[in-house]
């Protein structure tokens, strides 16, 4: 057993690899109707942490790339196939598991509301508000918190915000994404003024149909990675004490 091995024995034992994924979607709150960050969790059906909720994940196949393993785990547990799937961090502390040396590669995914509606739910797969996703198995609380921090940091640049929207969107819908991620109200006039100088968003000739008032203009994202998922880039490793996120069965 890894826990009973001495330092020399642990140094020669090969590490195991596991994949976990944080999936973020925006859904309207039941009371306010404002968008909130949600994520799906999986109930563990074996020890350790039997019955606790955890991030979707599993072992890395011998012939799989990290990205392919993350995508496969998502399909198998939630039936989701997001367009945005990026490596978030590698958790590889020496004492994260008492049974083996385990390195967990964590990915994060962003899905649109229509994609989130296709996710399968069951007794052991359920969506939670990100603010209420606490007391999770292993160190998944820490992983979710880090993913939220990363999301809020990247919302200010690049294409992150647009992966929560459809191909066409209104400025009010885009502002709703920013407000949900940042957790604060944004002045509509100031938000619109800031977007006027943006080079990665263009107005279309279309308007949003179905409203009672003057229909708002629809916009589209025209940035460098419009319509394509981000390239997988190496991320820095993060050492963290504590148990492993998702040990292979």
pLDDT given at position 10: 56
pLDDT tens digits for 103-140?
Answer: 889 999 999 988 888 888 899 999 999 999 999 988 89
Query: Rounded to whole angstroms, how far apart are CA atoms 82 and 116?
Result: 9
Question: DSSP letter string over 213-246?
Answer: SSPPEEEEE-STTTTSPPPP----EE---SS-SS
pLDDT given at position 52: 94
Domains annotated for the chain, with CATH where assigned, are 2-154 (3.90.79.10), 160-221 (1.10.10.10)
pLDDT tens digits for 175-228?
Answer: 999 999 999 999 999 999 988 888 889 999 999 987 777 899 999 999 876 555
Query: What are the structure tokens assigned to 223, written together?
Result: 């940035």
pTM across the whole model: 0.83
């Amino acid at each position: 057993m890894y826990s009973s091995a001495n330092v020399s024995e642990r140094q020669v034992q090969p590490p195991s690899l596991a994949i976990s994924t944080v999936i973020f979607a925006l859904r309207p709150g039941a009371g306010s109707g404002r968008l909130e960050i949600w994520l799906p969790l999986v109930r563990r059906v074996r020890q350790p942490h039997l019955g606790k909720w955890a991030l979707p994940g599993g072992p890395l196949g011998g012939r799989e790339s990290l990205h392919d393993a993350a995508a496969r785990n998502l399909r198998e547990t939630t039936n989701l196939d997001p367009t945005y799937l990026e490596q978030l961090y590698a958790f590889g502390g020496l004492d994260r598991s008492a049974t083996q040396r385990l390195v967990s590669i964590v990915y994060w995914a962003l899905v649109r509301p229509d994609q989130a509606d296709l996710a399968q739910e069951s007794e052991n797969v359920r969506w939670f508000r990100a603010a209420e996703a606490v007391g999770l198995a292993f160190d998944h609380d820490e992983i979710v918190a880090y993913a939220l921090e990363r999301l809020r940091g990247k919302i200010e640049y690049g294409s992150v915000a647009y992966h929560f929207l459809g191909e066409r969107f209104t400025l009010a819908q885009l502002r709703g994404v920013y407000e949900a991620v940042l957790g604060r109200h944004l002045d509509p006039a100031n938000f619109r003024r800031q977007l006027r100088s943006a080079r990665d968003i263009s107005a279309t000739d279309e308007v949003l149909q179905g409203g009672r008032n003057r229909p708002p203009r629809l916009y589209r994202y025209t940035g460098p990675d419009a319509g394509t998922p981000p390239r997988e880039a190496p991320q820095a490793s993060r050492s963290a004490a504590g148990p492993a996120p998702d040990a292979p069965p």
